[in-house]
Chains A and B, each alone.
Chain A
Amino acid sequence: MSLTILLIEDSLLLRELLGELIEGAFPNVCIERAASAEEGLKMLGNGHAVDLVLMDIGLPGMNGLDATRGAKRIAPDTQVIMLTQYDCKEYRRAAEQAGAAAYVGKRDAARVLVPTIESVCRATGRQL
Chain B
Amino acid sequence: MPTTVFIADDHAIIRDGLRALLEANGTARVVGTADNGRRAVRQVCTLRPDVVVLDIAMPELNGLDAAEQIREACPDTQVVILSVHGTCQHIARALRAGARGYLLKKSASTEVADAIRAVHAGHRYLSRDVSEICVSGTPDKVGFPCP
Chain A interface residues (CB < 8 Å from chain B): 10-14, 16-18, 20-21, 60, 106-111, 113
* Interface bits B77-119 vs A (CB < 8 Å: 1, else 0): 0000010100000000000000000000111110010000000
Q: Shortest CB–CB separation between residue B100 and chain A, in angstroms? A: 19
Enumerate chain A residues within 8 angstroms of B108, measured Cβ to Cβ.
Answer: 12-13, 16
Judging by beta carbons under 8 Å apart, are B106 and A21 in contact? Answer: no
Contacts A17-B17, A20-B21, A21-B17; is A11 near B105 (CB within 8 Å)?
Answer: yes
Enumerate chain B residues within 8 angstroms of A111, measured Cβ to Cβ.
Answer: 12
> 10 closest A-B pairs (Cβ-Cβ)?
A17-B17, A110-B12, A110-B13, A11-B105, A109-B13, A13-B105, A12-B108, A11-B106, A12-B106, A16-B109
A113–B17 alpha-carbon span in the complex (Å): 14
For this complex, 21 residue pairs linking A to B, each with C-beta atoms less than 8 Å apart, are A11-B105, A11-B106, A12-B108, A13-B105, A13-B106, A13-B107, A13-B112, A14-B13, A16-B21, A16-B108, A16-B109, A17-B17, A17-B18, A20-B17, A20-B20, A20-B21, A106-B11, A107-B12, A110-B12, A110-B15, A111-B12
A26–B62 alpha-carbon span in the complex (Å): 35
Q: Shortest CB–CB separation between residue B7 and chain A, in angstroms? A: 12
Known: A11-B106, A16-B21. 14 other contacts (CB 8 A): A10-B106, A11-B105, A12-B107, A12-B108, A13-B82, A14-B13, A14-B105, A16-B108, A20-B21, A107-B12, A109-B13, A110-B15, A111-B12, A113-B13
Judging by beta carbons under 8 Å apart, are B11 and A107 in contact? Answer: yes
Number of interface residues of B (CB under 8 A): 20
Q: Is the interface of B mostly helix, strand, loop or mixed?
A: helix
Chain B interface residues (CB < 8 Å from chain A): 10-18, 20-21, 82, 84, 105-109, 112, 141
A109–B112 alpha-carbon span in the complex (Å): 21
- Which residue, of A10, A16, A60, A106, has the highest number of chain B Cβ atoms within 10 A? A16
Judging by beta carbons under 8 Å apart, are B17 and A107 in contact? Answer: no
A22–B16 alpha-carbon span in the complex (Å): 13
Partner of A106, one of B13, B15, B112: B13
Enumerate chain B residues within 8 angstroms of A113, measured Cβ to Cβ.
Answer: 13
Closest to A35 in B: B106
Q: Shortest CB–CB separation between residue B37 and chain A, in angstroms? A: 15
Q: Shortest CB–CB separation between residue B65 and chain A, in angstroms? A: 20
Enumerate chain A residues within 8 angstroms of B105, measured Cβ to Cβ.
Answer: 11-14
A10–B129 alpha-carbon span in the complex (Å): 14
